[in-house]
């Protein structure tokens, strides 16, 4: 069986790719800033959930984590998938998130299709 060691646990590459590929290609995030907090509503297929965080980078990390949890990704695979942020805003949306004057926006985050680079398979 092909495996990869990740933090002492054996991960099955086939399972990894199955969890990776069942995630949506695009998610929508509506966000606003209020009193130093970025608050967002995430829509991913039939899932809708809220997230909040203080910084743009942490906000996008929490969005990614929320999507993985909504799709029932097992804990053993969360770390590897979170290490490679799947959903990233385009540069303009990053600028909006980081702009202290901009108070709200909607962004579409596309799936990063670089999964083949995420796992080194060993026998």
Would the CA dihedral through 89, 93, 95, 98 be positive or negative? Answer: negative
Q: Which of 117, 92, 123 is nearest to 106 (CA)?
A: 92
Task: Please write the tens of the pLDDT for every residue from 18-68.
Answer: 998 888 888 999 999 988 899 999 999 999 999 999 999 999 999 999 999
Q: What is the per-residue pLDDT for 2?
A: 38
Residue 76 · residue 3 · CB < 8 Å: no
- End-to-end CA separation in angstroms for the chain: 7
- Domain range summary for the chain, segments of one domain joined by +: 26-112
Q: What is the per-residue pLDDT for 32?
A: 94
Q: What is the per-residue pLDDT for 47?
A: 93
């Amino acid at each position: 069986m092909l495996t990869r060691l990740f933090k002492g646990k054996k991960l099955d590459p086939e399972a990894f790719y199955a969890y990776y590929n069942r995630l949506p290609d695009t998610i929508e995030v509506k966000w606003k800033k209020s009193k130093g907090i970025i608050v967002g509503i995430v829509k991913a297929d039939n899932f809708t959930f809220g997230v909040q965080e203080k910084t743009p980078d942490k906000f996008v990390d929490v969005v990614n984590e929320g999507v993985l949890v909504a799709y029932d990704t097992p804990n053993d695979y969360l770390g590897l998938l979170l290490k490679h942020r799947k959903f990233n805003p385009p540069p303009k949306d990053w600028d909006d998130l980081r702009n202290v004057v901009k108070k709200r926006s909607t962004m579409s985050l596309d799936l990063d299709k670089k999964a083949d680079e995420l796992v080194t398979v060993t026998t």
